């Protein structure tokens, strides 16, 4: 079992790193929002929907949302969904970086975990965007299941579950090894047979 001191060291390191990254949002916002919009636009072009969908900077950013997804369906009706690049990608990224860098493993393992984790996390971020992009023109505003779908997408894209739960799962997957799990759980006593 890890000692109280090692757990406290991990927690302090994590909080300092995560806090610093979170506090850097005003400086990182232009670059990260641009990265998210360009990645999303590349995804739109890849699925062949560039003639009816666009991702651009929100025209009236309100401090929370900064990115708008414009959609025009086959009937010519247009609409848009606004998202926050901070919640969609930056917060989960900050959480993952904080967890990986604070983990008491070798620098080489941390570097590998950071690389693999960021690739996996941004694949997840793009999957969240893809859900919104692919299904937005399919839904009809008057159907019950459309409303269910919209709330599900809204929660998946804007909700905190993806922003906090998925980075932790990725951190465990890329950082922990079998021997780490044994060390955390402690050795189990052998059964005595008569």
> What tens digit of pLDDT does each residue of 114-157 get?
999 999 998 888 887 777 666 655 545 556 655 665 566 555 55
Give every CB contact of residue 8 below 8 A, 6+ residues apart in sequence: none
Q: What confidence score (pLDDT) does residue 115 get? A: 95
| Residue whose entry in the numeric block shows the structure tokens 């900050």 | 94
Could you give the residue ranges of the DSSP H alpha helices within 3-55? 4-23, 25-46
How many CA atoms lie less than 13 Å away from 43 in the CB half-sphere?
Answer: 21
Q: How confident is the model at residue 42 (pLDDT cuts 50, 70, 90)?
A: confident
Distance of alpha carbon 56 from alpha carbon 47, whole angstroms: 17
- The structure's pTM equals 0.76
120 and 172 in contact (C-beta within 8 Å)?
no
Q: Is the pLDDT of residue 87 over 90?
A: no
Q: Is the pLDDT of residue 111 over 60?
A: yes
For 75, the 3-state DSSP assignment is coil
pLDDT in tens, 161-193: 556 788 888 998 998 887 766 665 555 555 555
82 and 157 in contact (C-beta within 8 Å)?
no
């Amino acid at each position: 079992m890890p000692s109280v001191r090692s757990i406290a060291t991990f927690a302090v390191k994590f909080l300092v790193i995560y806090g610093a990254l979170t506090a850097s949002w005003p400086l990182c916002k232009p670059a990260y929002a641009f990265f998210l919009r360009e990645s999303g636009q590349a995804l739109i072009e890849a699925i062949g929907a560039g003639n009816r969908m666009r991702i651009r900077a929100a025209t009236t950013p309100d401090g929370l949302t900064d990115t708008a997804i414009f959609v025009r369906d086959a009937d010519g009706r247009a609409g848009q969904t606004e998202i926050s690049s901070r919640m969609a990608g930056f917060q989960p990224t900050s959480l993952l970086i904080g967890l990986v860098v604070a983990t008491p493993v070798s620098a080489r393992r941390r570097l590998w975990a950071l690389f693999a984790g960021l690739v996996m996390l941004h694949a997840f971020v793009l999957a969240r965007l893809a859900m919104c992009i692919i299904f937005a023109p399919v839904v009809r505003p008057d159907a019950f299941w459309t409303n269910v779908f919209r709330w599900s997408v809204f929660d998946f894209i804007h909700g905190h579950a993806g922003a906090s739960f998925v980075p932790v799962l990725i951190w465990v997957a890329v950082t922990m090894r079998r021997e780490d799990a044994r060390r955390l759980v402690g050795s189990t006593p052998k059964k005595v047979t008569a």
